[in-house]
Structures are given as structure tokens and as C-alpha cells.
Amino acid sequence: MADESSQFPASYRYFGSQFQLWRQNAQVRRETIAEAANYSVDTVKSVEQGRRRVPPRLAEIADEMFGARGMLLAGLSHLKREPFPARSQDYFRYESEAIALNWFELALIPGPLQTEAYALALMSDFSPPLDDETIQDRVAARMERKALLTRKPLVGCSFIIYEAALRCPVGGREAFREQMLHLLEVSKQRNISVQVLPFERVTPSALGGPMVLLETRDHEHFVLVEGQSMSQLASDPVEVSSLTQRYGMIRMQALSADESAHFIGRMVDEREP
């Protein structure tokens, strides 16, 4: 089982450990700093455990009481929330080092291919709801990931999208039409293949869910599978081999890149006003 503390931003955990060290060195009890700053002892404990961001007033009073002379306050500007859940951070690190990426998506447009409007619609309708700052952070982070498509040296990218994802008008008619046009534009890049898996060609291998297979610069191979609120990143050769074979079966059933471009083009025409 993963360490529970790893589910919170590293910056929160680091600041919390420093807060606790300064407090202990100053021989100040949690109850004392909590009363002085008008916060609960549980809040102070949560800060020290890295489970929440320190309130600025608590940091200011703690800096003075602990004799930190501005050193605690200096850390406030670094307390940025990670845009995506902790469980996704390892995958994003490997994605940034990828030299090859094979992606099958069952119900959504793959992240690196999403337009800003499409991503915003997804984040805005998240359940439980996200606050505006988190939505903005996540949309910005998703847009930054698009650099993968044009990074040099070029990354070989293969995307297979099930027809169901192309029939769901996320963000409304105009936003989704923009998303389809974006897919057509991206598919023109020589390092990118976009294929459609139509309803009539679906294979049972495809119905098991989405998957991402990637190879890093060090020729390490990873596979990512996701569910409603969980994801699993694996490097076990047996599992990677199994899902690589499954991806190959799905790709055999999908339309060719040219056929897929025509398919998406027809969908764009259907959405003409």
C-alpha cells in the first residue's frame, strides 16, 4: 500500500517538516502556536504533516515565534499545488522522457490531443466539483503536455480512438467541432498517427478500457491503465508484453490513418451549421 503522505504535494510535506523542526527547536508547543495564530491544533498538525497548505497568518506568527527571521516565510511562494493527483505524477515524469507513445482511448480524446475548450469542459464538469483554481491549473498543465507532440527529437505517437469518444459532444457542438478539426490537423504531423476504431470493428480486447504504452530514452517500457478514480503504472515485462499484444490487436481492427482522417472529416461535416 502506498504511503498516505505521498498523496499530498511534495512542497506541502517539505514545508511542514521545516515548520515542525523550527517549532521543536524553539521549544514551542502546537497548542501555543495554534492559540497565538487563532487556529486549531488540528490545523497546525495538518500543516506539519503536509496534509494542507499553511495559512499565511499562521506562517507569519510562527516565523516570529520560532525566531526563523523570514526563513519560514520564504517558503510560502513555493507552496504550489500539483495540478494532477499524486498517483499520476510518476506517469507524467516518464511521459516527458518518452521516445515512443502508443495510446488507446475508449471514451475520451487522449490528453495530449485535447483542445483547451474540450479540457476545460471535462474539468468543469468533474465530480466531486473542483474549485476554479484547480480547474485552471489542470487545464494549463494539460495544454503544456501537448509539447510532447512537437518535441525534438520527435516522439513517435500512435493514438487509437474508439468511435464512442468521437460521438460524445463534450463542451457543446462548436467546441467539439473545434476538437475534431484539431485531430485532423495534428494527424498531419509525420510523427503522429491517429486511428479510429469504429463501432462495427470493435474487438473484445478494446472493451477492457484505455491504455498507454510508452518507451523512455533509456528504453524502459511502461504501461498505464486507468479507471474511474484510480490508475496503475506498471513496468513488469509480462504485463507490458500482454498489453502490447492487446494494443496490436486493437490497431489491426482500427481504420488506417487515411481512412480515419476521412471518418473524422465526415463527422466535422455533420456538425456544420
In contact, 22 and 64? CB cutoff 8 Å: no
Fold of the domain built from segment(s) 86-270: Endonuclease; Chain A (3.30.870)
Write down the pLDDT at residue 1: 36
Other CB atoms within 10 Å distance of the CB of residue 17: 13
The dihedral over CA atoms of 164, 167, 172, 176, expressed in degrees to the nearest 10, equals 90
| Per-residue pLDDT, 84 | 60
Mean pLDDT, residues 131-155 = 88
| Confidence tier at 7 by pLDDT (50, 70, 90) | low
pLDDT higher than threshold 50 for residue 28? yes
Check pLDDT > 50 for residue 13.
yes
Residue 273: all three cell numbers together: 451549421
Q: Which pLDDT value is given to residue 259?
A: 98
Residue 26, exposed/middle/buried by CB under 10 A (0-12, 13-18, 19+)? middle
3-state DSSP assignment of residue 212: strand
Please provide the average confidence, as pLDDT, over all residues in the chain: 89
pTM comes to 0.72
Per domain, the residue ranges of the chain are 4-78, 86-270
Question: Domain 4-78 in CATH: superfamily?
Answer: lambda repressor-like DNA-binding domains (1.10.260.40)
* Alpha helices (runs of H) in the chain, residue ranges in sequence order: 10-25, 30-37, 41-48, 56-65, 89-95, 116-124, 132-144, 163-166, 173-186, 237-253, 257-270
* The pLDDT value given to residue 74: 87
**Is the per-residue pLDDT at 2 higher than 60?**
no
Dihedral angle sign, alpha carbons of residues 120, 141, 135, 6: positive
pLDDT value of position 83: 58
The residue type at 200: E
* pLDDT tops 80 at residue 232: yes
Higher-pLDDT residue of 217, 115: 115
Residues 6+ apart with CB under 8 A from 121: 170, 171, 172, 175
Tell me how far apart the alpha carbons of residues 179 and 171 are, in angstroms, rounded to a whole number: 10
